Amino acid sequence: MTVNGPTIAFLILASLILSAAVYIVTTRNIMHAVFVHLLALSSVSGIYILLYAQFIAAMQVLIYAGAVTTMVLFALMLVKPKAGMEIALDNQQKGMAFATAGVFLSVLLVVLVPKVWATSQEKLTPLTVAKFGKILFTKYVLPFEMISVLLLVALIGVLVLASKEEE
């Protein structure tokens, strides 16, 4: 157990995220779930900063705070159920779900906790965004283009799905 600044910061962030996640999967108020979800995901960007991946952290905030949360909120406003917004958020298989997730987690923990990883001994240094860009547009240029095609397809698909059918 090492006690230093980053570790304490990590533990605080991790407990914040995990309690936020528990809140999301148990709350009965769907709007609160969305806002707490934003809290959890922006704290994940704090974890990325602790890993010296600032670019990923900024992307996380931009995508999740800027795009995903706002999209979910817009969708929620479009589909506000008439009555009983706060009932029937859970189904009857809560116990089964808890057991499955619990077993899954315990198996993971049994495997992972004693594991010693072959980590590199170097000190972490911040990644420059220039290095990132170079690799992204040389070695990974094909996946990058595929992602842009995927986003385009998603965009068209969403337009087709969400536009009202005209007779």
Partner 1 sequence: MGLLIGIGLALLVIVLVLTHIIVFIWCELKIFAHIMDRYGPIETGKFHGVLQPFADVLKLMNKEDTVPGASDRLIFKVAPFVVFVPAFMAIGAIPLSATLVVINLDIGAFYIIALSAFTFVGMIMAGWSSFNKYSLLGAFRAAGQLLSYELPFGLTIAGVAMMASSLNLITIVNKQVVPNAFIQPIGFLVFVIAAEAELSRSPFDIPHAESEIIAGYHIEYSGMRWALFYLAEYVSLIILCSMTALLFLGGFKGPILPPPVWFLLKVYVLFFILAWIRITFPRVRPDQLMDLGWKVLLPASLLNIVLTASIIILLPDIWPVALAVTEFTIVIATLIYLGRTRR
Partner 2 sequence: MIPLNYFVIFSAILFSIGMYGVLARRNAILLLLSVELMLNAVNVNFVAFSRYITPHTIVGLMYTIFAMASGAAEIGVGLAIIVTIYRGKQTLNVDEIDMLKW
Tokens representing 108?
């993971």
Picking from 76, 9, 6, 79, the residue whose alpha carbon sits closest to that of residue 37 is 76
Among 12, 32, 51, 141, binds partner 2 (CB under 8 A): 51
HSE (side-chain half, CA atoms, 13 Å) at 19 = 5
Considering CB distances under 5 to 8 angstroms, the limit depending on partner class, which of partner 1, partner 2, none binds residue 149?
none
Contact (CB, 8 A) for 40 and 68: no
Query: Smallest distance, Å, CB 38 to partner 1?
Result: 6
46 interacts with partner 2 by CB under 8 A: no
Residues that bind partner 1 (CB under 8 A): 31-32, 35, 38, 42, 54-55, 58-59, 61-62, 65-67, 69-70, 73-74, 77, 126, 128-130
48 to 15, 20, 34, 61, 148: CA distances (angstroms):
15, 17, 21, 11, 24
Site for partner 2 in 112-131 (CB under 8 A): 112-113, 115, 117-120, 122-125, 127, 131
Distance of CA 70 to the CA centre of its chain: 14
Q: What does 50 interact with, of partner 2, partner 1, none (CB < 5 to 8 A by kind)?
A: partner 2
Residue 35 as a binder of partner 2 (CB under 8 A): the answer is: no
